Structure 1
């Protein structure tokens, strides 16, 4: 809900789109400070999401990248703004967001042999460019290699996962919702980021109770799994999807890899 020209809210009384109403009543509805800072538009959008199926693994470009992408491809990147988000849980809310401490994911790599195949030349440490290469490798493998890795992970004793046993509980859910071939199954659970340059990292799995909130900044990979939330976001519709969506919608994997 907002005055963004893509699917804007409308007046229940007249059916007039909200951006037209705001444009004709800027002083009354926004105030001079908002007009001076944001150019006479509502600077945020409000979403109500009831998530029964994992939403795409994605990130939103920062302002500089959004401006560049908008100039190059305005049809796909419809606005030159960033899109940080604040999500407020109305009930139990599950989300992957950001990266775990590097020591924790290193322990996972040490204890879970199927993951070691993603390490270039079995290195213990990698520089940024090597890590970026690993990210793309995990987002672009063959369907069979994705399936094989997940089958191997499910066969490893539960105790080897330490406090990350949720992997074994969430993985079947995600496979049922999309498919065992979806690369996001590996990315959200067992992932290697490009920058900043820690050793190995994976996405944080968070469960939030009602009335709690999470801030997802621009450039932060995230995937909302389940729950009902109110989400306030900056005025933009730019997104890079790489998983938990149809193959045709897995856009800009290389850009996703380099953007965060």
Structure 2
């Protein structure tokens, strides 16, 4: 078991304070810090702090795959860590995006290779052959758009805005099955000529302003979100697409699971994010980056989903609360130490084989494994190899540790 130093990625939508505060560094930072990567992705592997100095987690896995990953994980995934852990901090909305299924990723990767698109190209959609299901757990209040809202509710929203220019599009939704209507409407908007968008988007923004001025509250969050996105991305089809998605507000500890094909955008907040070890993203707007409309339409799932259905089920075992998902690459839980668990050593439930990444989100704990003992304070992380578990914990104050390991 060793301390793990993550790698910070700076994007314009990140925060100059959140990740710095979380990791105990001075703030504000020189650049917006968006993601803290804690994993073994080739693009930005984390570093293990050994007696001989820092080593890339990629090198550690390469030199001892059996001991680090364990035989069962190697049998299933080869000599790679199948998941990637991030701490994500958004001060501004991220691009509207979706991730492919494994089959879609394999086909897309091969097609782009065949066309000679370099992996580093800004128009490359597929950096690897993997799908990218992901789970986000809010560390601080977190806001997001995710999943196509049930059609009846979207029709109520569009009619509440009282924008005559939206009436023909309402008819597209109600005139066919829910998924077909959503596909037709989304395709119409994302492929619309710019002059049409330049007329329709301002009309929708005016409708949102009038709705809020009226004192109505039922769709106030949706109206404010449309106005915020419209101000940042004038004339962008993604502003219209936001009308079709669930508007989510997560309290600390609440989570959303996003499978392949789920259109989403994180709006603001700080969260603990775990995903399959992939960097495949298909963008759908709200960004100056490349948007491949045909490929996006190929991967999107237009099946409506309620906001409630995006929250994973929970399973409590002792002080370990697991967020249940169908992903085989990862499993995520939070270890909450308080009350009777304080002041003495306790065994952390061992539900999964393979390595673990621990991230202290609150308080502090002494972590004991077979080979070593570490103290983790807020913002610190640890790598626990497969042959070094299980772990025991001691905390003298309320503490929360996020834990990521391999799924079943």
Query: Separation in 1 of the partners of 2:82 and 2:154?
Result: 38
Aligned with 1:117 (options 163, 168, 175)? 168
Aligned with 1:53 (options 92, 103, 106)? 92
Aligned with 1:95 (options 129, 144, 149)? 144
Return closer, same or farther for 1:231/1:123 CA change in 2, 3 Å cut-off. closer
Query: Separation in 2 of the partners of 1:162 and 1:91?
Result: 24
Q: CA deviation at 1:231?
A: 0.2
Please give the residue correspondences for 1:132-151 in structure 2 after superposition, counting only pairs within 5 Å. Answer: 132-141=183-192, 142=194, 143-151=197-205
Query: Separation in 2 of the partners of 1:102 and 1:49?
Result: 31
**Are 2:40 and 1:3 equivalent residues in the alignment?**
yes
Aligned-CA RMSD value: 2.4
Number of residue pairs matched by the alignment: 244
Secondary structure at 1:226 match in 2: strand
Secondary structure at 1:238 match in 2: coil
Return closer, same or farther for 1:217/1:96 CA change in 2, 3 Å cut-off. same
CA radius of gyration, larger in: 2
Residue 37 of structure 1 corresponds to 76
Secondary structure at 2:47 match in 1: coil
Task: Provide the TM-score with structure 1 as the length reference.
Answer: 0.84
Secondary structure at 1:163 match in 2: coil
Please give the residue correspondences for 1:131-210 in structure 2 after superposition, counting only pairs within 5 Å. Answer: 131-141=182-192, 142=194, 143-154=197-208, 156-158=210-212, 163-176=218-231, 178-188=232-242, 190=243, 202-210=244-252
Secondary structure at 2:218 match in 1: helix
Secondary structure at 1:73 match in 2: helix
Q: CA deviation at 1:253?
A: 1.6
Q: CA deviation at 1:15?
A: 4.7
Q: Contact 2:173–2:185 at 8 Å: present in 1 too?
A: no
More helix by share: 1
Q: Contact 1:136–1:254 at 8 Å: present in 2 too?
A: no
Query: Separation in 1 of the partners of 2:173 and 2:218?
Result: 25
Query: Separation in 2 of the partners of 1:161 and 1:219?
Result: 33
Secondary structure at 2:131 match in 1: coil
Residue 216 of structure 1 corresponds to 258
More strand by share: 2
Secondary structure at 1:115 match in 2: helix
Q: Contact 1:10–1:18 at 8 Å: present in 2 too?
A: yes
Q: Report which structure shows greater RCO (CA 8 Å, sep ≥6).
A: 1
Q: Contact 1:114–1:152 at 8 Å: present in 2 too?
A: no
Structure 1 unmatched ranges of 5 or more: 191-201
Q: Deviations over 1:113-157 (max 9, x none)?
A: 33223357x684136666534312212331413433334423544
Q: Deviations over 1:229-259 (max 9, x none)?
A: 010000111110121211xx14212222232
Structure 2 unmatched ranges of 5 or more: 1-37, 114-118, 302-408
Return closer, same or farther for 1:170/1:151 CA change in 2, 3 Å cut-off. closer
Query: Separation in 1 of the partners of 2:183 and 2:209?
Result: 28
